Structure 1
Amino acid sequence: MSTTPTVLLVHGAFADAGSWSGVIAELQNHGIPVVAPANPLRGLASDAAYIASVASQIEGPVVLVGHSYGGALITVAGTTENVVGLVYVAAYVLEEGESLGELQGRFPLSPLVSNLKEWTYPVEGAEPAVEVSIKAEAFPEIFAADVPAPVTKVLAAAQRPLAASAFEETAAAAAWRTKPSWALVATADQAINPEVERFGAKRAGATVVEVEGASHAVAVSQPKAVADLIRDAVRATA
């Protein structure tokens, strides 16, 4: 059996698994097995449990990769036994007991916060819950400023909302305390303050790469840079 870890890519809010397409192609070209499931985006605990379930059903070692909110999920799901490494891509790196809102609140807010649109969705046996997406007119500048305009229009139309409650849920674990980690900081990120990315990565003791001028959608705009960091993690944990 191959000892090459399988890379499990976890997309964040306002995106879908297709946002990893360029990264997947790069990894597959180097013979690295990849899985990119759909992230439910319904809450930190339930989403992390889903990702942990996917990881545990993969034979052999797994490197978890999280973009944006997906970083919070791999922080919790990474405690799964066969997970051997964590890669954060323009992501939140939470401490145990910390929420997205708490981590963000330590730094100046990004333009994302004032450009969210609220929707509701049905919850069985309860009142409708709130979810948020990025206002279409603000999406290009905030999420994907370095992506061609025609592509950005598609990304904006296809974005998947995040349950608003996810910002207040706290992480049940911090897998980076026992697993090696890597992090990519997108220096021109307008969705997450790059200082939030740097702080979390440093606290986790991650190996950090900064991509100058990269937007939050760095996996779309610079898939090779993202894939190269993931390959470093795969090589180190194989």
Structure 2
Amino acid sequence: MPLDKQSFSINSDGKKLGVFISGHGQSEQGAGICFAAWRAQQGRLTTVIPTIGKENWQGQTCKRTLAVGVLSEENPAEIKIGVIYEVIASGANAFASAIFSVDKAKRTLSLDRDLTSGIGSQHIANLAGLKQWYQGHKPPEATARFNVVQQVQKAVEEQKLVKDPACVEYQQAKDGEPGLTLVDVMEKHGGHCPGDIQIKHRLFSIYVDNVTHQMLTDKDDPEEGTFSLLPDIK
């Protein structure tokens, strides 16, 4: 069952990404289970992530979802959502937390397993405490790591390099030239985007200079990979 007062829309830059749903249910044995779910922009439930009572929380029973809230929005690519549960463990009441990530570009929800496992047995009882913990433990390189992809997306959209910005996605390549970061602009299929959902083609690529932030792209000649300079974005 969804919990109405603890489910809400997630928006970024004036666009609705989807709806974060906090919910409560029961296992086959009648024990309380909590979960998080994601409803995409089209209104279809796309993701259900069991938490208390399942996986790492197998030995706990979910009594109730105590608090849900956004922990951080400064990351250009992700929004972090924290959830605090009141649980029953070893016959006693306790608190447990989970942290989820909303990918702004893909509009998807996932459990941040590293941060969630890092909370461990902190027994944080309120959202303010969870925000404070997150600020002290978030990866310091997170913003920088995703900033390149955000800047490439901004350049593509501002300079109208693709017909429909909603039907492309961006993949940062692991291996690039020294001093440069490579981002591939890929087709995205499904929903209103035509094409086989199982197939994704590279449309073109963009190199970003790690110091000057200037961009080179092979958009005019992706077959041969001939790169030319992109005008600076605003």
TM over 0.5: no
**What's the TM-score, normalizing by structure 1?**
0.25
By percentage of residues, which structure has more strand? Answer: 2
By percentage of residues, which structure has more helix? Answer: 1
